[in-house]
């Protein structure tokens, strides 16, 4: 690594992440073979997030504050402050695998105008537990081809930490939509991918995604959050269809909305109804209700709407707390992850 090597900006939005942010920042600062700066934007944290970030300032962490403007605004502010030629987004509770950025930089140096993808998987306690998502697309693809393949089946996980993007690609895509909260990454990264020439897969470039964090943006289930998800899916699919309106892209977009129907019903019927209209307008979807054995059995006999109403009633009666307690107990005994 030399002064002539490209600088990579790792951008970290944070809010009340004291418990996790140290590990996230260490994973960024510990990237070998590249020059890295880390920009943390704190959104009115009330814990020790600021102190953790400030303690790492001598090693290249820059710390900025904003007053409750939300994650998307924090990401835009971090991007405006970034000085790197390449940008890595990183949630404050996730972890970059060793060498992740260097592997992606090497490919992007040889292919300007592209965006680099990688592997990712979930963990709860330690990144060593991570199981790589089997849906990872493990080849180079044109952006529309990548999106059509990734969205088929309706699971649009656009985890920000997977990507490494040149600044000029992000500039062509435009800023994060600051009106979005839940799944804001879907709309944004659809635009980013469509602004790139190709999506380059980098084996071994790994992102460890922490699941089960209380209070996370992805865990919000308010009416406003669900409306944000609907708008994000509308914006992202509209961008895809504007580039290619074909049977494969319409089917992929319909699958995305069908999963939202299942996720929002019955607690947010307005969002579910609007998403259902989108499914029908796009020609329908074959996506079936996902869930545990009991839920799928109920859907097979009673229909998915009745099954989801039963699940909602059971969780309201306290089943959800019992199920989560059992899961924690099993994990503590070495059971399923």
pLDDT band at 29 (very low <50, low <70, confident <90, very high): very high
Residue 205 and residue 312 in one domain: no
* C-alpha span between 216 and 225 (Å, rounded): 12
* C-alpha span between 141 and 175 (Å, rounded): 24
* Predicted confidence (pLDDT) per residue in 262-286, tens digit: 999 999 999 999 999 999 999 999 9
Residue 283 lies in a domain: yes
Q: Is the pLDDT of residue 331 over 60?
A: no
Residue 303 lies in a domain: yes
Residue 191 and residue 232 in one domain: no
Q: Is the pLDDT of residue 179 over 60?
A: yes
Residue 213 and residue 238 in one domain: no
**Domain edge (last residue) among 218, 249, 281:** 218
Residues 167, 173, 177, CA angle at the centre, nearest 5°?
A: 110
pTM of the model: 0.90
* Residue 160 CB-density burial (10 A; 0-12 exposed, 13-18 middle, 19+ buried): buried
Residue 76 and residue 214 in one domain: yes
* C-alpha span between 31 and 206 (Å, rounded): 12
Residue 212 and residue 229 in one domain: no
Query: Minimum mean pLDDT among 4-8, 24-28, 183-187, 323-327: which range?
Result: 323-327
Range of the domain at 74: 7-218
Residue 267 lies in a domain: yes
Residue 19 and residue 109 in one domain: yes
Residue 325 lies in a domain: no
* Predicted confidence (pLDDT) per residue in 115-169, tens digit: 999 999 999 999 999 998 887 899 999 999 999 999 999 876 788 999 999 999 9
Residue 55 and residue 66 in one domain: yes
Residue 199 and residue 265 in one domain: no
Residue 199 and residue 230 in one domain: no
Higher pLDDT, 302 or 337: 302
**Is the bond preceding residue 266 a cis peptide, omega within 30 degrees?**
yes
Residue 308 lies in a domain: yes
Residue 208 and residue 273 in one domain: no
pLDDT, position 1? 62
DSSP tally for the chain: helices H, then strands E: 13, 9
Number of domains in the chain: 2
Residue 335 lies in a domain: no
Residue 196 and residue 235 in one domain: no
Residue 201 and residue 247 in one domain: no
């Amino acid at each position: 690594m030399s002064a002539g090597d490209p600088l990579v900006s790792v951008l970290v939005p944070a809010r009340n992440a004291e418990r996790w942010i140290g590990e996230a920042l260490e994973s960024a600062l510990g990237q070998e073979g590249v020059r890295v700066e880390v920009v943390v934007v704190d959104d009115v944290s009330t814990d020790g997030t600021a102190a953790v970030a400030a303690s790492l300032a001598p090693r290249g962490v820059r710390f900025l504050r904003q007053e409750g403007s939300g994650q998307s605004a924090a990401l835009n502010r971090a991007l405006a402050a970034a000085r790197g030629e390449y940008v890595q987004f990183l949630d404050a509770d996730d972890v970059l695998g060793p060498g992740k950025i260097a592997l992606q930089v090497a490919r992007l140096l040889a292919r300007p105008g592209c965006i680099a993808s990688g592997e990712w998987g979930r963990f709860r306690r330690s990144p060593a537990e991570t199981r790589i998502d089997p849906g990872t697309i493990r080849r180079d693809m044109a952006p529309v081809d990548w999106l059509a393949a990734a969205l088929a089946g309706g699971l649009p996980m656009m985890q920000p930490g997977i990507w490494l993007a040149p600044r000029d690609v992000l500039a062509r895509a435009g800023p994060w939509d600051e009106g979005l909260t839940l799944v804001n990454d879907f709309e944004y990264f659809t635009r980013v991918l469509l602004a790139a020439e190709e999506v380059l897969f980098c084996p071994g470039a790994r992102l460890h995604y922490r699941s089960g964090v209380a209070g996370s943006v992805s865990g919000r289930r308010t009416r406003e959050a669900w409306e944000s998800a609907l708008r994000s899916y509308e914006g992202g699919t509209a961008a895809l269809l504007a580039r290619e309106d074909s049977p494969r892209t319409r089917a992929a977009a319909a699958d995305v909305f069908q999963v939202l129907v299942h996720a929002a019903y019955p607690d947010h019927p307005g969002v579910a109804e609007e998403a259902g209209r989108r499914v029908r307008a796009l020609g329908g979807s074959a996506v079936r209700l996902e869930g545990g054995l009991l839920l799928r059995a109920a859907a097979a006999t009673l229909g998915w709407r009745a099954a989801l109403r039963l699940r909602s009633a059971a969780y309201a009666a306290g089943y959800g707390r019992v199920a989560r307690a059992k899961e924690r107990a099993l994990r503590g005994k070495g059971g399923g992850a």
